Amino acid sequence: MRIHNHIIVCLIIVLLSCSSKNNQATQTNGLKDFYGDYFSIGVAVSPRALNTDEAALIVAEFNSVTAENAMKMGPIHPKENEYFWQHADSIVRFAERNKLKIRGHTLCWHNQTPPWMFIDADSNQVSKEVLLTRLKDHITTVVNRYKGKIYAWDVVNEVISDKQNEFYRDSPWYKICGPEFIAKAFEYAHAADPEALLFYNDYNEINPVKRKKIIQLVAELKAAGVPIHGVGLQAHWSMHEPTRAQLDSTLTEFAMLDLPLQITELDVSVYPKEHGRRERKPEDDLTEFTAEKAALQAEAYATYFEVFRKHKAVLTGVTFWNISDRHSWLDNFPVRNRKDYPLLFDEDLNRKNAYHKVVDF
């Protein structure tokens, strides 16, 4: 009987040690582990995804999260005296529970702003003073709530114009305040949480004309003593661009600012890149993810990560915009209802060819 008990105890010990080894195996084999010596690997999430099978994937593969929408001004501050915290809070709780870093996104942007922001009770446009006070209240309240939990904020998003001959985007912020709101936003955020790293974030950074303007803006802010600590390159790219040389020179030029860089919103569309919404054309019905597209996309991803690794001294994070091909904002942009496949996991959450290329180095 005693020998029998002994055997059972031994069996339990062996089983326990096997299962802890298995756990270890799954925990040390994600993207975040392959890139442990390089940069953190993040993902943009919705609170809904955290209640699905995508939650386990996030924890296994990533070590940082960004709220896809929940911390933007419109969703989080729908009325002047009303904040909606539930969604943002649930993402923060999930990250804390699973020891993930959190990037805050975003404190000041021209899109997804609440309708009340730019007008008074009579629907007249507010003055610069009123708008800056509203911006300060907003930033102070949001940054304060997550103080010590969010390690980096995208403070200002997309203020540079895509038009060749225009420097600043002609947004309501700019129309009412001039460029001053940009520096102010950084100052308000820094006052609310002096420890948080503050980023300027923009897209189409691979375009040499726009890149030059972004670099000029950041250099000017830095020279003026504005608390800016990093540059976010969104990286909404396609499998056709950027080329290796274009990406390499992009990162080399941004690195000259002598600030940390992060890739903040990476996705690699299987269609040619377009930055504006447009009507559907007949060829938009060809949405099958063919073997040819999978191979081209895998090559593009391999190239992009090879260049990222080359620039690891200055690159401190790479964040994907959405989790898997099950859902991406690109399914509805630039064309409504055109399925895209821009991420490293397929609709069933399996690792795609592109994934294997990214971790094969």
Name the residue type at position 296: L
Q: Hey, which residues between 137 and 196 contact ligand GLA (CB under 6 A)?
A: 157
Q: In angstroms, give the least distance from the CB of 14 to ligand GLA.
A: 49
Q: Give the DSSP H or E segment for 108.
A: strand 101-108
List the one residue out of 269, 251, 267 whose CA is nearest residue 205: 251
Instruction: Decide if residue 203 touches ligand GLA (CB under 6 A).
Output: yes
Q: Is 129 one of the annotated active-site residues of the chain?
A: no
Our answer to whether residue 68 is catalytic in this structure is no
- Ordered alpha helix ranges (H), the chain: 2-27, 31-34, 54-61, 73-76, 86-97, 128-145, 172-177, 180-192, 208-223, 244-255, 291-310, 353-358
Q: Which residue, 6 or 278, has its beta carbon nearer to ligand GLA? A: 278
The answer to whether the beta carbons of residues 153 and 199 sit under 8 Å apart is yes
**Residue 319 in contact with ligand GLA, rule: CB under 6 A:** no
User: Considering beta carbons, is residue 200 or 345 the nearer one to ligand GLA?
Assistant: 200
Q: Amino acid letter at 117?
A: M
Question: Torsion over CA of 20, 23, 28 and 32, rounded to 10 degrees?
Answer: -140
Shortest Cβ 17–ligand GLA spacing (Å): 44
Q: Give least dist CB 182 to ligand GLA, A.
A: 16
Query: Residue holding tokens 């629907």?
Result: 123
Least distance CB 54 / ligand GLA (angstroms): 17
Identify which of residues 38 and 329 has a Cβ nearer to ligand GLA in the complex: 329
CB of residue 7 to ligand GLA, shortest distance in Å: 58
Interactions with ligand GLA, residue window 207-246 (CB under 6 A): 234
Indicate whether 265 belongs to the interface with ligand GLA (CB under 6 A). Answer: yes
Establish if 329 lies at the interface with ligand GLA (CB under 6 A).
yes
Q: How far apart are CA 87 and CA 43, in angstroms?
A: 16
What residues contact 142, with CB distance under 8 A and at least 6 apart? 71, 76, 77, 83, 104, 107
Closer to ligand GLA by Cβ: residue 268 or 302: 268
In the bound state with ligand GLA, the residue whose beta carbon lies nearer, of 75 and 179, is 75
Catalytic residue among 54, 61, 158, 205: 158
Residues that bind ligand GLA (CB under 6 A): 105, 157, 203, 234, 265, 329
- Residues marked active site are found at 158, 265
